[in-house]
Amino acid sequence: MDPASIAPAQALAVEDGDQVLDMCAAPGGKSLILAEALKNSGELIANEVSEARRERLKKVIQQYIPRDVRDRMWVTGRDGGQFARSHPEYFDRILIDAPCSGERHLMQNSSELSEWKKNRSEKLAQRQYALLTAALVAAKPGGRIVYSTCSVSNLEDDLVIDRLSKKKEGQFQVLDTLSPIPEAEKTKNGFQIWPDRCHQGPIYYAVLQKNQ
């Protein structure tokens, strides 16, 4: 797991006893961090819509998480948007490691670079916004949501938060937090962890809190 991936999970600030949703959980590294905070009580739903990735997630949980914590975890395979209907105002903490264009992989594989198109980011941004709106419904008043991508496209990062702010005005606030990675760049709504500055990433994340 990219060390930068730890930052969004830490930013969720899970506390013992919380009801937690990892909306796009595979391959499972962030779920391990979230589960570690639920030492004595609380529950975690690790959701992954892809069956193949979900099986990998189950293996990670089985291998690395103690049984007493596993007994308070559930692995589900639903579309993340469904949690708005099934669990309204239920979760204290929600992590969205959203599907994205993944420029990190483009940097590592030049053959994929030629296939990158702006409209791909635009389509993904629609999906990312839908997941965020569902999370806003599923979060308890006062609950925290962390939105994260491994994209460097503003279409998938700050602009998704901007759209949510415009459409859901007054329903949440963007929290001004500190990044555990000092070299991370502060953006309008969150942080961008750049490979050239931080030697890890790219990772973007923003921390939101649902209003009471």
Active-site residues: which are they?
A: 150
Q: Assess contact for 19 and 91: CB atoms under 8 A.
A: yes
Are 207 and 144 contacting, i.e. CB atoms less than 8 angstroms apart?
yes
What is the per-residue DSSP string for 146-184? EEEES---GGGTHHHHHHHHHHTTTSEEE-----SSTTP
The three-point CA angle 203-209-210 to 5° equals: 135
**Strand bridging mode 139-149 / 185-186:** unpaired
**Cβ(103)–Cβ(202) below 8 Å:** yes
The neighbouring-strand residues paired with 100 are none
